[in-house]
Structure 1
Amino acid sequence: MINVFTMSQFFQESMHISAMPGRQVSQTTTLCSMTTRPVRWFILLASTILFLVLPGTLTCSAASKPFPLYYAIVDNVNFWEKIYSTYSLNQAVIHDSDDLSKVYGVISLVDDKTPGASKINSQRQQQAIENYSRMLTRLAGGSPVTGEEKRIAALFTGPNRLQELRNAAKNVRSQRGQKERFLEGVVKSGAFLEEIRAIFRSYNLPEDLAYLPHVESSFNTRAYSKFGAAGMWQFTRSTGKLYMMINSEVDERLDPILATHAAAKYLRNSYEKLGTWPLAITSYNYGLAGMLRAREDKGSYSEIYRNYQKGYFKFASKNFYSEFLAARMVAEKLEKKYRLHRPQRVTTFKLRGFVHINQLTDHFRTTVATLQRLNPALRAPVFGGEKLVPEGYTLRLPNEQSTAKLINSFPSSRFKSSQNQNLFHRVKKGETAGAIARQYDISLSDLLSANNLDRFSTIYIRQKLRIPLSHGGIGFVPVSPVAVLNAKPKIVALSPQGGAPPVLTAAKKNKPTSWQSTDFLPSKDPTIYNVFNITTRGDFKVGQVVVQPEESLELFAQWLNTDIATLTRMSNLPRGRQISPGQKIQLFFNHVSPDKFEEKRLDFLNETEEDFFSAYTVIGKTMYTVEPGDTLWDLCYNKFDIPLWLLERYNSTINLAQLRHSQELIIPLVQQL
């Protein structure tokens, strides 16, 4: 693709300020608006020179559109355009992570359906990265010999080429092609694009923001990332709760239309605070607070792109806007060539109370599977009958001739006034899992599944177990990270040793011992989610908790029914600082009891694990030796691409907040289902 620019856009890189659509901003300064004669002559001369260097121009009016293509990111946009339209899923592009114009080679991968494909492809990519890294190191110390070395050496021509070669040896990266997946996303997008565009228009935002899900999820409404982002718009749980309902019954992140409204609100807020769409779009990946700091430090988008290196502004955030521009470009072309899915017509019914899923299927003569397809925001406990469809929920129903009449005739007597409440049991000394299951008239397998336990898990005295409610023979089994095997585990009581709490534990006779075993997930002592050292101060209680992975001040504030400012003040926490795993903090329970707080923590843990293991599985483990400069963030998000809570689960005896050189870590190997 040929990319061309005028001097207007070239100079705008350091002074481009956009406005909301239709709003005039007098501060915007482009060379198109300069009227002095000397400047005009300079522009004419410089533009002529630039036209000879770059084969074409981009008009001033195009440069002032909401999504400018800056000169600094031309190579990046070209790179991502090819990733989306040229390179297949069975190819990986080996390239420089800082300069995407430097592509060293393209390697072949095996099809994902091939047994062991994930491991094979990972090894192939890693081997290619190491080969090119060694080659670049050799070239930094000597002249090229082979034809391949000469080709790679020709990519480095500047006066500092030897230092650039040494730096490049550390920046070799692999990017898998996305051609087939992107096309599939374009075809799927037809079911939503018209409504998504209308939503953005209603918020007075540029309609082309509708192309952003191509970057986030390829319009996969069930997409779930390893780090907890869900749905077509890939909201994390903490950010999503600012705009949507996310609980044990409903996760609106999975509803493409409700999530689009949330995305519009987020993007509008980010644009109003950051002032340009390149910055606002980048904030969708890096976060609004991070981009505000970056803008304060560097000013314009181009300066941030070229020179900002603080925090975690790494490859993904740096390329996010370029990916959006490339995705929009490729999608617009494909939309003209292929038949897209059409929107599905539905009839909606706003519920006047809580109602069992069976009451709905019976009355509307439909199936649970149909309602599940039309209402992706409803979670498994609702479809299984453990929870009721919540009051106020707008239910989507098949658009049939009889639907409107059936809505009008739905009996009010079928509505309930309240939701089924979670039931918990605190384990006592001498109890067995089987006895607890019999006490509540549930199966042992349901009890283990509801608490994300398998037959090898340890159950602790004073642990809170979630008791699944009766579900009327629907066959509901809560999602579990590890399949509960048919054989019922024998539960025996152990006496306390070395001050450790007494436990009830599953029989270990058949516990897997092979290092590569994949049917065992290390259990986590759930008592660490308890509130301890509880005392009474006046009319409310005070207690301490140990922060766990994925928890935040925002979540604690929500669980305590308070705001972050009040929480920070009462807990004597420094303003502006975030909490970290392993940190012990004091909480005040003036609106919510410690017991209710614990239940919300356990619900969050279970929902996080259920979501993750509905999309991924652990296929093995490997060892890693900590190197100088390693941080917990880099290991999880950059090196191994796994969530922090999962790394902690496999290394529960290690203080991950204080990594030491040469320390051995167990790294779970994760594969998408």
Structure 2
Amino acid sequence: MRVPFLLAVMMFVLWVDARSTVSAAAGNSFPVYDAMRANVAFWKTVYAKYPTSNGLIHDNRDLSIIYEVIDLEPRDRGGAEKRNTARVDGAKAKYKKILLSLAAGGVARTSEEKRVLALFGAKPSASRLRAAADAVRFQLCLKDHFAEGVVRSGAYLDEIKKIFRSYGLPEELAYLPHVESSFNYKAYSKSGAAGIWQFTRDTGKRFMTIDYTLDERRDPIRATHAAARFLKGNYERLGSWPLALTAYNHGTTGMVRAKNAMGNYENIFRKYEGSRFGFASRNFYSEFIAAVDVAKNYKKHFGNIKLDDPVSHYEVALSNYAPVKDLSRHFKVDLATLRELNPALRPPVFEGRKHVPKGYRLRLPGKKDPAVQVASAVPRDILVDQQKPSRFYRVRKGDTVGTVARRHGVKMEDLVAANDLDSRKMIVVGQNLRIPSREEKIVPLAKTAATGGPAELTARPLKIAMKGAKELPRRTASQAPPAAVAPAELTAGPLKVALKGAKAEGPPAVTASVPAEAVITPRTARQMADDEFPIIQASAVKKAISASKRVAETEEDGAANVASDPAAETVLAEETRQLERQATLALLPQGDLDSVAVNPRVVTGNLEVEVGSRKNGRAMTGTIKVEAGETIGHYAGWLKVPTGKILRANGLRSASSIKLGQQLKISFDKVAVEEFEQNRYEYHKEIEEDFFAVYKIEGARLYRIKAGDNIWKLCADEFDLPAWLVRKYNTAHDFNNLKLDDQLVIPVVSKVEEG
């Protein structure tokens, strides 16, 4: 009798313990564990108490410890970013110094030291204080931006909830975009995550169409269906919503690994130390819980704000391709309205470069009734049988803008405008110029902001700055590498200087990294808080990379210049010259110095196929070189073949084993070589157009490779830039074989101001 009694007591204790660690009614899908209460409270403070003019200095593991609320200047005020960065850095350094002093046994003498010490409870250990000194973090507050997101959510929130219910999922999931994008329908991250659900391209293609014409990630309704399917799959695989939601941030496979190691979400939250399970992943579920509470009770936090009215629309399916302007005229709906209702249609459609794709369901304003149904039939004379092709030309030595334009039968000024070339019409060997169609109305890139295209794209010289001589010590002859290093590569436009590169340890598949939204969002704020690679700030001494004079060819019609062969100059000599010019550079005006000439809006890289065998004049086989951002999956999709066929043809064991610049053999059984090249070009052009619609290049800085650096990890974690963009500025480097102390030119990127 004693054993059953003891068993009953133990079961009761376990039941009480479970009740004490989980604050949730029976059947609640989203439990709040005691271990995460402080985190939920922290994110409510971020979302609903302080605006973006404030930030929190806090402990990055125990979020109940907030050292200080600091004031920040408005971001649009001149020089504010520099001053805010200094203020944040100063506050973090201040608390780190206090904590290290206390950890070393120092007595808390000042009121400030006593206040900090009291945050840790009675008699904290020295190890705890030392750990806290390394865990001081800044978090931007978001009350005003969260409120703006609540207003925007009114347009589609009811429909989003309805979609989740149709999949048998909790409708609370409809509030997740507050965490991902603040319901910004135009959100786009530096790594290419798009739309309110912030799908990356690779994940998004599992559920949606994403190509040069159509990107359904940007459509809040189509993307919500994708999010519902993705989250449902996470839940079915992981068994709980805390795990399924964390997997939305950390990745499903990563969370399966964490669950196998720790058993349940609470243990993962408290103890898991996976290599990629950082602050964002650990806090993602807490952020969601806080966002749901704040959004549901928005009047309590933000007052009587008016939400956007729900969007009223109906859809018309297109049985074939159609020019958007003809559809606009037929349905008597202006292009701006069509664009607003159909955010999945990319800028090339509205600029006349592409037709609305076959099968697309065009959204039109209003509600569909029998009378509208008859009027919605699309006339046959509007429809066309084929999509407009994308034409490009890879610049070769000796080319000029004039000769390229004449060769393709287009006006020189149209070619210049289509590629955002500067007044000197400089083109560079290896650039892939877009060839506009003869009937296309060219819109200069700098003016396409009104249609959602790139804004502020007039090419400017690119300033290179360094923080000081201490970061770039001069090497003596004895320190120079024993072998000769590659010469600096000089290209035109006005000039690009690529220094030698660094060693990567077993680079993974050549894919773009996976964000920073078009507006400040919770995800953007997390990145801003953890930024350890700030934009170069003005200093007493401005340094810049100077380049040798180039020899250029100029056509009589003023068509273009093409860079000649690079000057024979070693990297060591270049570094030495930079340091020796320090005093001279300090006297130069604070305008543009000598420049790196990269036109970032023109796709670079060899996208052409080196044709092998032919049959009846048709290319049957060929070879290509892997470019940044490409995978075996991409090639298989463009060729319409299984990935296994490409792997076998190249003796590869897995799709993750390819490297940048690697030569691959491919065959053209199902598509022509021209179609493959076009798809490849459009893939790169799409990514770059999307990026420069939101971000602009302001300058550049130098980064010296350190022990343990890997270029792909650097791009994702240190630079917060896509690999393809870093590659543009460092084409002379072998990213697969970078060396210790090598230097990379890293572009400085900022967000294009909206409006």
For the criterion TM > 0.5, the same-fold answer is: yes
1:608 match = 687
Question: Could you say if the C-alpha distance between residues 591 and 356 of structure 1 is closer, same or farther in structure 2, counting changes exceeding 3 Å?
Answer: same
CA shift for structure 1 position 441: 5.1
Does residue 121 (structure 1) correspond to residue 121 (structure 2)? The answer is no
The structure 2 residue matched to 1:169, chosen from 119, 129, 133, is 133
Q: Tell me by how many angstroms 1:552 deviates.
A: 2.8
In 1: Cα distance, 2:675 partner to 2:254 partner: 33
> In the alignment, is residue 543 of structure 1 matched against residue 623 of structure 2?
yes
Matches within 5 A, 1:587-626: 587-626=666-705
What is the 5 A alignment of 1:521-670?
521=599, 526-532=604-610, 534=612, 540-548=620-628, 550-575=629-654, 577=656, 579-658=658-737, 660-670=739-749
Determine which of 205, 210, 234 is the counterpart of 1:246.
210
Mapping of residues 280-429 of structure 1, within 5 Å: 280-334=244-298, 338=304, 339-399=306-366, 404=372, 407-408=375-376, 410-427=378-395
Distance 2:333 2:455 in 1: 30
1:448 shift after superposition: 4.2
The answer to whether the 8 Å contact 2:58/2:138 transfers is yes
Cα distance per residue 1:304-325 (max 9 Å; x no partner): 3333333422221221111111
Larger mean CA deviation between 399-408 and 245-254 belongs to: 399-408
1:493-521 residue CA offsets vs partner (Å, 9 max, x unmatched):
5555699xxxxxxxxxxxx9835979965
Q: How far apart, in 2, do the equivalents of 1:536 and 1:292 lie?
A: 48
SS at match of 2:176: helix
* Counterparts of residues 190-269 of structure 1 (less than 5 Å): 190-269=154-233
Q: Relative to structure 1, is the Cα distance of residues 536 and 520 closer, same or farther in structure 2, using a 3 angstrom cutoff?
A: closer
User: Does structure 1 residue 111 correspond to structure 2 residue 43?
Assistant: no
**C-alpha displacement of 1:601:** 2.5
Task: Report how far residue 97 of structure 1 moved.
Answer: 1.9
Query: What is the CA–CA distance in structure 1 between the aligned matches of 2:238 and 2:197, rounded to whole Å?
Result: 20
Of the three residues 92, 95, 111, the one matched with 1:132 is: 95
Report Cα offsets for 1:608-648 as digits up to 9, x if no partner.
11111111122333334444444445533334432222233
For CA contacts below 8 A with separation 6 or more, give which structure has more relative contact order. Answer: 2
Deviates further, 521-530 or 255-264: 521-530
- Corresponding residue for 2:28? 65
Deviations along 1:378-419, one digit per CA (max 9) or x if unpaired, are 111111111111121111112179981673464222111111
Deviation, 1:438, is 4.4
For the 8 Å contact 2:426–2:562, the answer to whether it is kept is no
- 3-state SS of the aligned residue for 2:381? helix
1:483 is matched with 457
In structure 1, how many angstroms separate the alpha carbons of the residues matched to 2:694 and 2:313? 28
Distance, in Å, in 2 between the alignment partners of 1:57 and 1:46 is 12
Alignment counterpart, residue 93 of structure 1, candidates 35, 56, 62:
56
Q: Which amino acid aligns with 1:58?
A: S
Computed over aligned residues only, the root mean square deviation of the Cα atoms, in angstroms, reads 3.6
Amino acid paired to 1:543? T
> Alpha carbons of 1:413 and 1:490: their partners in 2 closer, same or farther (altered >3 Å)?
closer
CA contact (8 A) 1:363 1:406 kept: no
CA positional deviation for 1:428:
5.5
C-alpha distance in 1, partners of 2:442/2:373? 27
Question: What amino acid sits opposite 1:89 in the alignment?
Answer: T
Match of 1:142 in 2: 105
- For residues 489 and 138 of structure 1, the distance between their equivalents in structure 2, rounded to whole angstroms, comes to 67
Q: Which residue of 2 aligns with 1:504?
A: none
**Alpha-carbon distance in structure 1 between the residues aligned to 2:221 and 2:29:** 23
Identify the residue that residue 6 of structure 1 maps to in structure 2. Answer: none
Summarize the Cα distance change of 1:179–1:598 in structure 2 as closer, same or farther, 3 Å threshold: same
Q: CA deviation at 1:341?
A: 1.9
Aligned-residue offset at 1:329: 1.2
Query: Partner residue of 1:154?
Result: 118
Partner residue, 1:492: 561
CA distance in 1, matches of 2:81, 2:11: 54
> How many Å apart are 1:99 and its aligned residue?
2.4
1:514 aligns with 2:514: no
Q: Is the 8 A contact 1:482 1:520 kept in 2?
A: no
Decide which moves more: 109-118 or 436-445.
Answer: 436-445
Contact persistence 2:104–2:126 (CA under 8 A): yes
Q: Is the partner of 1:414 in helix, strand or coil?
A: coil
- Between 1:596-605 and 1:189-198, the stretch displaced more is 596-605
Residues 629-670 of structure 1: CA deviation (Å, up to 9, x unaligned): 444455333344322222333333334455555444433332
> Alpha-carbon deviation of 1:101?
2.1
Q: Distance in 2 between the 1:593 and 1:221 partners?
A: 37
Instruction: Check the 8 A contact 1:95/1:174 in 2, yes or no.
Output: yes
SS in 2 for 1:653: coil
Structure 1 length normalisation: TM-score? 0.82
In structure 2, relative to structure 1, the CA distance for the partners of 1:607 and 1:57 (3 Å cut) is: closer
SS in structure 1 opposite 2:308?
coil
Q: Is the 8 A contact 2:419 2:602 kept in 1?
A: no
CA 1:291 to 1:559, structure 2 compared with 1: closer, same or farther past 3 Å? farther
Deviations 1:523-582 (A, max 9, x none): 88834334458467999414242341x333332332222333444344332337454545
CA-CA distance at 1:359 after TM superposition: 0.9
- 8 A Cα contact 2:351 2:443, kept in partner: yes
Task: Supply the distance in 2 between the matched residues of 1:596 and 1:131 (Cα, whole angstroms).
Answer: 59
Q: Equivalents in 1 of 2:396, 2:712: separation in Å?
A: 38
Deviation at 1:199, TM superposition (A): 0.7
Q: Is the 8 A contact 1:552 1:578 kept in 2?
A: no
CA contact (8 A) 1:355 1:389 kept: yes
Q: Tell me the distance in 1 between the aligned counterparts of 2:558 and 2:39.
A: 55
Displacement of 1:43 after TM fit?
Answer: 6.3
Q: What secondary structure, in the 3-state scheme, does the structure 2 residue paired with 1:667 have?
A: strand
Check whether the contact 1:553–1:578 (CA below 8 A) recurs between aligned residues.
no
Question: Could you tell me how far apart the structure 2 residues matched to 1:414 and 1:451 are?
Answer: 30
**Separation of aligned partners in 2, 1:481 and 1:457:** 20
Per the alignment, in what secondary structure is the counterpart of residue 233 of structure 2? Answer: helix
1:94 and 1:129 in contact (8 A); partners too: yes
Per-residue CA deviation, residues 314-359 of structure 1 (Å, 9 max, x unaligned), is 2212211111111111111116754322212113211122111221
Cα gap change, 1:489 to 1:262, in 2 (>3 Å)? farther
Report the AA paired with residue 180 of structure 2: E
SS state at 1:105 partner:
strand
Q: Which runs of 5+ in 1 are unaligned?
A: 1-34, 500-511
Q: Does 1:433 align with 2:401?
A: yes
Superposed displacement of residue 261, structure 1: 0.6
